[in-house]
Structure 1
Amino acid sequence: MYYDHQVSNPSSDLVIPQVNAYCKPVKGMVFEYVDHAYDFYCEYAKKAGFCVRKRGSYMNDGLLKSKYFTCSKEGHKPANSYDSMAEKDGSNKPYYKRRKRPTIRCGCRAQIFLKYVDDLRFEINDFVKGHNHEMVDANDMHFVRSHRKLTHVQQDIIYEMSTLNLGPVKAFNIKRTKYGGFEEIGPTKDDCKNFKHNLTCYIGEYDAEMVVQRLSGKKNYCDGYSFEYTVNTNVLYNMVFVPFTAIDNHCRNVTVIDALLSSESIESYSWLLKVFLDFFGIAPKVVVTDQDSAMKQAISMVLPNSRYRLCMWHIMKKLADKAVWRVTRFPKKYMVDSWKIDVGVNPRTAPISSFGNDKFLKVKEISREITSGEYLINSYVTDVDELIKVRDQINIMVKKADETKYKRTHLSKRDMFAAILGYDQSSSVCLVV
């Protein structure tokens, strides 16, 4: 990629960038969707060295007839004319002087004009390639707004790292270190934070449906697994979340049941313990809870043969707050004697895994298989000729993907969120929680 900064017309002083023919707009080129044309023009702008801005459009009977995509330096910033002593709308509040902000607009006329044709397609009716300003250097293109986009893989990385309590900023720093610099990533830290915020808002709309869908998927894969849910329209907020956590044979915590209760009463806990007992068919040998009197009475009523103990963490926390002397630990002999009992693990418990849209789960599985670049480098680290062959094969596939990516179907933002989360919107369940 290079820039032709020679003046093609001395009277106009236009800069015409020179790029590869496969990504250069041509008058008469047809696109199936407007978004495809926008992505194509953005790719051309990225190689040419300028930023793209969406301009006006013309609608007729709810149908898009024409659309403009221009250079970001198109037009001029309108001048703010005001009288600092004038009053606003008859009030006593005068106009305050606004801060003068610089502008990048210089009246550049570079653009493409899309026109609607038959069969719901759009054709490039006009293409202006000359710019009246210098192009952005290739090393600074990652700062341009229209090119700071998170790819599907990058979005998936941010989401998967958030499940490990790693925020979007830490995910950005990990990608920066892995890719080799800021310029190799594309989006900025703010873009990563905005994506995580939008994804969280999307989850807030369908959180209950996602839980039901995930449990339904687990039911199809795990024999003997069942769950029930009811929709209560009278109790909407302030519900109590009660998880049941067991210890498996590897001394790991496994959540076996979750429940939402309307109150922390003896009746609610008794009902929940009966449901637990009916499903598993066997009572646990030891039950550990915090110092909740309602839970204690419910356990004694429903699980009379189970041994009830208080959580050691809660005991130490309350003892440290109420004791006049400093308590750091209990004698080991006391703790062993108090908890000495043969505890078995319920064989029906199993780790909960996520089940979602099979199509995008397959995509994730294949993507993990494809990411074998590190393995290839390690394998051919002493054979440079073979490593060059691998690189050439990858470049051929990348070029083929660049030539065909504008013909592929695009996902909307909400569909992209659903794909990352493995949530199938088409088979969603209508819940009121």
Structure 2
Amino acid sequence: MIVDNSKLNLGPVKSFKILKEYVLGYKNVGASLEDFKIFSRDIKRYLSEGDAQMLIEHFMKIKHMCPSFYFDFDVDSKGRLSHVFWVDPISIKNYMLFGDMTSFDTTFKKNKYRMIFGPFKGVDHHKRCVIFGVGLIINESKESFVWLFNKFLDAMGGRHPVCLITEEDEGIEEGMKLSWKDKVQHRYCMWHILKKLREKVGPSICKETEF
């Protein structure tokens, strides 16, 4: 029950209370709240140690069923998963049709595994957001972005986007220069520009609608 509830983001305290209602009283639970907390901690630690291997095995199963599915990964000097990239056949097809203008965004930053989520996105002919590929990287260094951009290019058969739209980030810019040279135009995302506008130019100029 603790494991199932954790998939719904319900912690050990709520699990303890839910089970109390189910068995009609705390005395019938058969464990204390502290037992619930300890078990929850231990099961999370156990699962986290195998999550990376489970992810790679999952991708391998998909690759076996669908040979057009592309994925690659890298590990650090300690054997820990450091980079992952994957893209399915539909995403590749979308990129061939709508990938001239591609957006790459790492705004979501780090998850609980301290890895940075970086999707490649675009817009189709119905103005809907479509995903071209997804990467997880350990940090925002130029080396990580070089690895990711090269894997993206490999998955897309060597076809570069005409323009890549990103946030302002030194690691991304250096990674682009090293991996894609000058083959791709680079532009900053308007959302990030407008977000920084007030602090850069001041509130008085922001009120100038003509400007």
TM range (shorter): 0.5 to 0.7
Matches within 5 A, 1:227-238: 227-233=71-77
For the 8 Å contact 2:12–2:36, the answer to whether it is kept is yes
Structure 1 length-normalised TM: 0.31
**Residue segments in structure 1 that go unaligned for 5+ positions in a row:** 1-153, 335-433
Q: Distance in 2 between matches of 1:190 and 1:255?
A: 46
Q: Distance in 2 between matches of 1:207 and 1:326?
A: 51
For the 8 Å contact 1:283–1:306, the answer to whether it is kept is no
Quick check: 1:160 aligned with 2:4?
A: no
Q: CA-to-partner distance for each residue in 1:83-135, whole Å, 9 max, x for gaps?
A: xxxxxxxxxxxxxxxxxxxxxxxxxxxxxxxxxxxxxxxxxxxxxxxxxxxxx
Q: Distance in 2 between matches of 1:271 and 1:323?
A: 36
Matches within 5 A, 1:12-411: 154-162=1-9, 166-173=10-17, 179=22, 182-183=25-26, 186=29, 187=31, 189-233=33-77, 241-245=115-119, 246=121, 251=128, 256-260=133-137, 264-265=141-142, 268-281=144-157, 282-284=159-161, 287-299=164-176, 302=180, 304-305=183-184, 308-310=187-189, 312=191, 314-315=192-193, 317-322=195-200, 324-325=202-203
Q: Which has the higher helix share?
A: 2
For the 8 Å contact 1:169–1:192, the answer to whether it is kept is yes
- Aligned amino acid, residue 325 of structure 1: P
Alpha-carbon offset, residue 279 of structure 1: 0.8
Identity of aligned residues (%): 22
Q: Which has the higher strand share?
A: 2
Q: CA-to-partner distance for each residue in 1:356-408, whole Å, 9 max, x for gaps?
A: xxxxxxxxxxxxxxxxxxxxxxxxxxxxxxxxxxxxxxxxxxxxxxxxxxxxx
Structural RMSD (CA)? 4.6
Structure 2 length-normalised TM: 0.55
SS at match of 1:161: coil
Q: Distance in 1 between matches of 2:33 and 2:70?
A: 42
Q: CA-to-partner distance for each residue in 1:213-262, whole Å, 9 max, x for gaps?
A: 22223323334113233444268799984533136879568583324367
Aligned residues: 172
Q: Distance in 2 between matches of 1:230 and 1:237?
A: 6
For the 8 Å contact 2:160–2:183, the answer to whether it is kept is no
Q: Distance in 2 between matches of 1:271 and 1:199?
A: 33
Alpha-carbon offset, residue 269 of structure 1: 2.5
Alpha-carbon offset, residue 189 of structure 1: 4.2
SS at match of 1:218: helix
Q: Distance in 2 between matches of 1:190 and 1:268?
A: 41
- Aligned amino acid, residue 228 of structure 1: D
- Aligned amino acid, residue 52 of structure 2: A
**Alpha-carbon distance change, 174 to 310 in structure 1, aligned in 2, over 3 angstroms:** farther
**Alpha-carbon distance change, 156 to 236 in structure 1, aligned in 2, over 3 angstroms:** closer
Q: Distance in 1 between matches of 2:26 and 2:189?
A: 54
- Aligned amino acid, residue 308 of structure 1: R
Alpha-carbon offset, residue 201 of structure 1: 1.2
